[in-house]
Structure 1
Amino acid sequence: MNYVPSFVEYGLGRLFRNFRGRDDKLIQRGSAFANCPEPSLTLECPEVGPSGSSLSVKHTAFGEQLFPTLRWPAVTPNIKEYLLIVEDPDAPLPNPITHGLFYSIPATATGVTAQDIELVKGSAVPNLLKGGFKYSPNRGHIYRGPRPPRGHGPHRYWFTLIGMNEALDVKKLSPLAKKEELLVAIQGKVVGWGSWIGVFENE
C-alpha cells in the first residue's frame, strides 16, 4: 500500500478496523488437523519474548523485514519433518495473508533464524535455503515482514510450526510448490503443531 497517500490509508484502516480476526481460516483450523485440533508443540521466540509480544520495526516491512528467531524442543520420535507458516488473520480480507511458508524442514532442526531463510545461490534447487529446507514463493519474496494498514489497529502474526509423521515427497511437488499444493500434500501426515504470535501496529 506504499502508493496510497498516508491520510487515505489511515482513513481506510479506520473504516475497516472491525474487519479482522479470520482465526477460523488459519491453517491449523483446516481438515489436515482433524486429529490434532489443539497445539502440542512448543514454539518460542527468545529474540522478541513470549507469544503475544510486540515485534520491533526491524522485523517489519518498515525496517529490515528480519525474520524473528524461533526455537522449539528436540524432535519427538513420531515427527519426521516440519513445515512452518506465517499468517496474518487480522488483515481486512476474507482470508489470512500468508507472509512466509517453509517446508521440508528436517526433523533434527530445533529452530529457524533469519540466516536460515536466505537463498542458496547457484543451487540446482531454485528454492533451497541455507537452513537446508525450501520456501514457497510469496508474491516474489521468500518472506514478507508485517505491513498492516495504518490506523487498522494491532495485527497478530501467527508463526505456526507443523510436525508431520512422514516427509513430503518433493518429487511429487512442483519445483516451486505453492500453498494450495502443500495444503493437499500434508493431508494425513500432521501429528502436532504449535504457534507463536508476534504483534505489530502501524500507528
Structure 2
Amino acid sequence: MLEKLPGAIGHALHDVRAGLDAIVFNTLGLRQGMGSISVTSLAFADHAPLPPRYTADGEGLSPPVQWTGVPSNAASLVLVVEDADSPTPHPLVHAIAVDLPAGDGALAEAALASTDTPGTGVHTGRNSYLQAAWLPPDPPPGHGVHRYAFQLFALDAAPTFSQAPGRDEVFDALRAHALASGLLIGTCERPDGSIKIDEAAPVGPVIAG
C-alpha cells in the first residue's frame, strides 16, 4: 500500500494534512458541560507510538482500548478512529464501532475485523476505504508523524444505525445524542529510505501515525 510510495512524495506532501481540528471530537460542537470519558490502551500511552503489530507494518490488528467515566444515563457508545495527519481534505477514517454497550468497558486486541482477522462481532461502520473493518495505520514514507485519534462518545439513546454506517451517519447521531466524550492519540511514522539507521543504536518502537 502506501509503504511503496517514494519518500520524495511524502516529503512533498509534508505540510498537507487534514488537521487535528478536523476530527469528529473537535468538529462536533460538544455542548458545554458535556462529560469527559477517560480513554486508554494497554498497548500504548497517549501521544505515544502505536506498536507495529497494530499497523500495516505488522499484523494489522486493532489495538486494545478501554474506557472509564461513562455517564450512568448513557444508552450506547460509539468509537471513531481517524488519522488527523492524512494528506487529504478530511481526516482518514480508520475505524467506526457503534452500538457498544453503555458503561465502563473495553475492546480487546483484534476485536474489530481486519484483513486477516474476523473480529469479535462488534457492529462496525465503514472506514475511508469503504470497508466495515479496522484500517491499519499506513502513513506515506517521509510524511512525518501521523496522529491517530481514538474518539469515544457516550449517547443518551441507542440510534438505529445501518448495517455499516459511514462517518456522516454517525456524525449526525452524535450531534443529536452525545452526552460525553473521550480522546486517546496514538502515533505512527514511516521514515523514507534515505534515512540512515545507526545499526549500533538500540532497537525500539518506530514512531508512526
- TM-score > 0.5, shorter chain as reference: yes
CA drift of 1:29 comes to 2.2
CA drift of 1:135 comes to 0.5
Matched, 1:22 2:19: yes
Residues in 2 aligned to 1:102 and 1:36: alpha-carbon distance in whole angstroms? 25
Residues in 1 aligned to 2:79 and 2:4: alpha-carbon distance in whole angstroms? 34
Task: Please give the per-residue CA displacement for 1:145-196, whole angstroms capped at 9, x wherever unaligned.
Answer: 100000000101010111111111x2xx432222211211222211111111
Residues in 1 aligned to 2:18 and 2:35: alpha-carbon distance in whole angstroms? 19
Partner of 2:38: 42
Matched, 1:164 2:155: yes
Matched, 1:197 2:185: yes
Partner of 1:135: 124
CA drift of 1:52 comes to 0.7
Secondary structure in structure 2 of the residue aligned to 1:117: coil
Partner of 1:60: 55
Secondary structure in structure 1 of the residue aligned to 2:176: coil
Matched, 1:51 2:46: yes
Secondary structure in structure 2 of the residue aligned to 1:43: strand
Residues in 2 aligned to 1:201 and 1:141: alpha-carbon distance in whole angstroms? 24
Question: Aligned AA for 2:190?
Answer: N
- For structure 2, the 5+ residue unaligned runs are 192-209
- Whether contact under 8 Å (1:36, 1:192) holds in the other structure is no
CA drift of 1:129 comes to 5.8
RMSD of equivalent CA atoms: 2.4
- For structure 1, the 5+ residue unaligned runs are 120-127
CA drift of 1:21 comes to 5.4
Identity of matched residues, %:
25
Residues in 1 aligned to 2:68 and 2:165: alpha-carbon distance in whole angstroms? 27
* CA distance 1:182–1:64, shift in 2 (3 Å): same
Question: Aligned AA for 1:144?
Answer: L
- Whether contact under 8 Å (1:74, 1:110) holds in the other structure is no
CA drift of 1:64 comes to 0.8
Question: Aligned AA for 2:124?
Answer: Y
* CA distance 1:200–1:37, shift in 2 (3 Å): farther
What is the TM-score of this pair, normalised by structure 2?
0.80
- Whether contact under 8 Å (1:28, 1:37) holds in the other structure is no
Q: Which moved more, 1:59-68 or 1:144-153?
A: 59-68
- Whether contact under 8 Å (1:21, 1:89) holds in the other structure is yes
CA drift of 1:89 comes to 1.1
Q: Which moved more, 1:35-44 or 1:185-194?
A: 35-44
Question: Aligned AA for 2:151?
Answer: T
Partner of 1:101: 96
- Whether contact under 8 Å (1:129, 1:135) holds in the other structure is no
Secondary structure in structure 2 of the residue aligned to 1:94: coil
Partner of 2:64: 69
What is the TM-score of this pair, normalised by structure 1?
0.82
